[in-house]
């Protein structure tokens, strides 16, 4: 049977780096589904398309070829063949991704691609709707979170390292705004699936979080 693991959670919970480590330990791939919404958000910004304009964004999503590939240094995301991996982590793209992800037709398209990839290969998927929508029959389902202040602190340190100048207060405000949009949208809002196991990483370090998830996966696989 396919080994598919779903990890959902709010902004800055560390889903992507934790999912990467979990996948590596299990010898399987990691699909960062947020990168696909980011690629769409980036393209809208670049082409001057208003992200609030649902009709235009849905049209863009349908005509755009967003693909992912796995290389030695992890996932790369492509738009029409251009590698946009290094361009999709800015605060502007984060907010644009959150906005375009509100639209039902956009979600339908993204979910279809993600389900196809997960059916082909054993993988860990991280996102917002993985456990409820993309992988309702996942081997293990995790809801990874931490307090907003802790998530903002981690995100702030990460951005400082990259030379991005936002203050901690700004990072916290952006994070709360995006959480609010992701949790209160009408279509597939972020929520903990009833059968997902909650992992609160507020008091855990990175390795502790990875180990906690591996333990859950092991229990689910054996049980
Ligand atoms: O995980 P992330 O921060 O890279 O995701 C960017 C945005 O994309 C996020 O604010 C909401 C949206 N998203 C989503 O709606 N569903 C997913 N499975 C992944 C991301």
Predicted local confidence at residue 165, as pLDDT? 81
Domains defined for the chain, CATH in brackets: 4-222 (3.40.50.300)
Alpha-carbon dihedral angle through residues 30, 34, 36, 39, given to the nearest 10 degrees? -130
Question: What spacing in Å lies between the alpha carbon of 122 and ligand 1's midpoint?
Answer: 21
pLDDT < 70: residue spans in the chain: none
**How far does the centroid of ligand 1 lie from the alpha carbon of residue 88, in Å?**
12
Phi-psi region of 185 (alpha: psi -120 to 50; beta: other; left: phi over 0): beta
Structure tokens at 67: 């693909």
Check pocket membership of 101 for ligand 1, CB cut-off 6 A: yes
DSSP state letters, 126-164: EESSIIIII-TT-SEEEEEE--HHHHHHHHHHHHHHTT-
- pLDDT for the residue numbered 66: 96
CA of 204: how far to CAs of 40, 53, 91, 127, 200, in Å? 33, 40, 26, 20, 8
- The finding on whether 45 has its CB within 6 A of some atom of ligand 1 is no
**Ligand 1: which residue has its CA nearest to atom 12?**
98
* pLDDT at 163 (0 to 100): 87
Say yes or no: CB of residue 38 within 6 Å of ligand 1. Answer: yes
Residues 8-51 pLDDT 10s: 999 999 999 999 999 999 999 999 999 999 999 999 999 999 99
- Is residue 92 within 8 A of residue 178, CB to CB? The reply is no
Q: Is 133 in the pocket of ligand 1 (CB under 6 A)?
A: no
**pTM (2 decimals)?**
0.95
pLDDT of residue 164: 80
């Amino acid at each position: 049977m396919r080994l598919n693991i779903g990890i959902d959670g709010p902004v800055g919970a560390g889903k992507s780096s934790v999912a990467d480590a979990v996948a590596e330990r299990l010898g399987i791939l990691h699909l960062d589904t947020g990168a696909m919404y980011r690629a769409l958000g980036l393209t809208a910004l670049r082409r001057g398309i208003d992200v609030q304009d649902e009709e235009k964004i849905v049209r863009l999503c349908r005509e755009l070829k967003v693909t992912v590939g796995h290389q030695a240094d992890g996932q790369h995301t492509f738009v029409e063949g251009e590698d946009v991996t290094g361009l999709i982590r800015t605060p502007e793209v984060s907010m644009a991704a959150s906005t375009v992800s509100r639209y039902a037709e956009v979600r339908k398209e993204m979910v279809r691609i993600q389900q196809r990839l997960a059916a082909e290969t054993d993988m860990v998927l991280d996102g917002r709707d993985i456990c409820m929508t993309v992988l309702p029959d996942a081997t293990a389902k995790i809801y990874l979170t931490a307090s907003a202040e802790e998530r903002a602190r981690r995100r702030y340190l990460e951005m400082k390292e990259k030379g991005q100048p936002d203050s901690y207060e700004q990072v916290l405000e952006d994070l709360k705004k995006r959480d609010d949009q992701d949790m209160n949208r009408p279509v597939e809002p972020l929520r903990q699936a009833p059968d997902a196991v909650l992992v609160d990483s507020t008091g855990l370090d990175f390795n502790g979080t990875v180990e906690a998830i591996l333990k859950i996966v092991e229990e689910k696989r054996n049980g």
